[in-house]
Chains A and B, each alone.
Chain A
Amino acid sequence: MGVSRRLAIGELKEHKRIYAIIVLVIALTMTSFMLENAYLNYMMQVVDDTTKLVTSDAVIVDPSSNLRDLYGTEPELKNAGRIARQIESELSNWETSIRVTAQGTYGLGVEGEAVDGCTIQGIDPIKDDKISSIKSKIVSGRYFKDSDPILRGHTPLYIEIEGPGDLPNFVYGTGERLLEEDEPYPIIVGATAAKMHPSVDVGNTFGLTLSVSGKESSYATINVQVIGLYESGTPTLDALMWFMHADSLREIKRYGNVEGKDWVVPGVGTFRGYNPITVDRDRGDVVIVKAPEPLHQLNPVAHAQDVSNTLEEIFPYLDVYNWHDFLVYIAGSMQDVVTIMLWGSILVTLFLCGAAIKYVMDSIIMRKTREIGSLKAFGARDRVVFKIFLYQGLIIGIIAGLLGIVFSLAVMNFVNWYGLSVEFIAGTQLEIGFIVNWLTLVTALALPVILSVLAAAIPAKKASMLSPVEALRKGELSL
Chain B
Amino acid sequence: MIKTKKPIIRLENVSKKYDEYGVVVNALDNVSLKIDKGEFVSIIGPSGCGKSTLLHCMGLLDRPSEGKVLIEEKDTTKISGKEIAEFRGTKLGFVFQNYNLIPRLTVLENVVLPGLIMNKKQKELEEKARVLLKEVGIYHRADHKGIHLSGGEQQRVAIARALINDPVLLLADEPTGALDTDSSTEIMKILLNLNKTRGTTSIFVSHEIEIAKFGIRTLAIKDGKIVGDTKEKGSDFESVVKSFKNNYNGG
Q: Do A and B bind each other?
A: yes
Beta-carbon contact of B98 and A378 below 8 Å: no
Q: From B162, which residue of chain A is reached at the shortest CB distance?
A: A378
Q: Which of A13, A371, A379 contacts B117 (CB 8 A)?
A: A379
CA distance A380 to B114 in the complex (A): 8
Asked if A28 is an interface residue, CB under 8 A from chain B, the answer is no
Which chain A residues border B61 with CB–CB below 8 Å?
Answer: 373, 376-377, 467-469, 472
Which chain B residues border A10 with CB–CB below 8 Å?
Answer: 102, 104-105
Tell whether A378 pairs with B94 under 8 Å between CB atoms, given A10-B104, A371-B100, A467-B62. Answer: yes
Which chain A residues border B56 with CB–CB below 8 Å?
Answer: 469
Chain A min CB distance to B169 (Å): 13
CA distance A378 to B86 in the complex (A): 9
Asked if A6 is an interface residue, CB under 8 A from chain B, the answer is yes
Asked if A68 is an interface residue, CB under 8 A from chain B, the answer is no
CA distance A475 to B118 in the complex (A): 23
Beta-carbon contact of A6 and B88 below 8 Å: no
Chain B min CB distance to A358 (Å): 22
Beta-carbon contact of A472 and B85 below 8 Å: no
Asked if B165 is an interface residue, CB under 8 A from chain A, the answer is yes
Asked if B89 is an interface residue, CB under 8 A from chain A, the answer is yes
**Contacting residues of chain A (409-468) with chain B, CB-CB under 8 angstroms:** 467-468
Beta-carbon contact of A378 and B113 below 8 Å: yes
Beta-carbon contact of A14 and B113 below 8 Å: no
Beta-carbon contact of A3 and B116 below 8 Å: yes
Beta-carbon contact of A374 and B100 below 8 Å: yes
Which chain B residues border A479 with CB–CB below 8 Å?
Answer: 98
Beta-carbon contact of B86 and A379 below 8 Å: yes
Beta-carbon contact of A370 and B100 below 8 Å: yes
**Contacting residues of chain B (22-78) with chain A, CB-CB under 8 angstroms:** 56, 59, 61-62
Beta-carbon contact of A379 and B165 below 8 Å: yes
Q: Which of A13, A380, A384, A472 contacts B96 (CB 8 A)?
A: A472
Tell whether A6 pairs with B116 under 8 Å between CB atoms, given A371-B100, A378-B89, A381-B85. Answer: yes
Asked if B90 is an interface residue, CB under 8 A from chain A, the answer is yes
Asked if A166 is an interface residue, CB under 8 A from chain B, the answer is no
Which chain B residues border A384 with CB–CB below 8 Å?
Answer: 117
CA distance A370 to B102 in the complex (A): 10
Tell whether A379 pairs with B98 under 8 Å between CB atoms, given A13-B104, A14-B104, A469-B62. Answer: no
Beta-carbon contact of A378 and B104 below 8 Å: no
Q: Which of B59, B86, B90, B116 contacts A377 (CB 8 A)?
A: B59
Provide the B2-34 mask, 1 if CB < 8 A to any CB of A, else 0.
000000000000000000000000000000000
CA distance A381 to B119 in the complex (A): 12
Which chain A residues border B161 with CB–CB below 8 Å?
Answer: 378
Chain B min CB distance to A472 (Å): 7
CA distance A375 to B62 in the complex (A): 15
Asked if A362 is an interface residue, CB under 8 A from chain B, the answer is no
Asked if A476 is an interface residue, CB under 8 A from chain B, the answer is yes
CA distance A475 to B56 in the complex (A): 15
CA distance A468 to B96 in the complex (A): 13
Q: From B116, which residue of chain A is reached at the shortest CB distance?
A: A3
CA distance A457 to B99 in the complex (A): 29
Asked if B198 is an interface residue, CB under 8 A from chain A, the answer is no
Which chain A residues border B119 with CB–CB below 8 Å?
Answer: 3
Chain A min CB distance to B86 (Å): 7
Chain B min CB distance to A327 (Å): 56
Which of B59, B61, B92, B114 has the most CB atoms of chain A within a 10 A radius of its CB?
B61
Apart from the given pairs A3-B117, A374-B94, 7 other A-B contacts in the complex at a CB distance below 8 Å: A6-B116, A7-B102, A374-B102, A378-B113, A379-B87, A382-B81, A479-B98
25 residue pairs from A and B, CB less than 8 Å apart:
A7-B102, A10-B104, A371-B102, A374-B96, A375-B117, A376-B85, A376-B88, A377-B59, A378-B88, A378-B94, A378-B113, A378-B161, A379-B114, A379-B117, A381-B82, A381-B85, A467-B62, A468-B61, A468-B88, A469-B61, A469-B62, A472-B96, A472-B100, A475-B100, A476-B98
Question: Could you tell me which A residues sit within 8 Å of B by CB distance?
Answer: 3, 6-7, 10, 13-14, 370-371, 373-382, 384, 467-469, 472, 475-476, 479
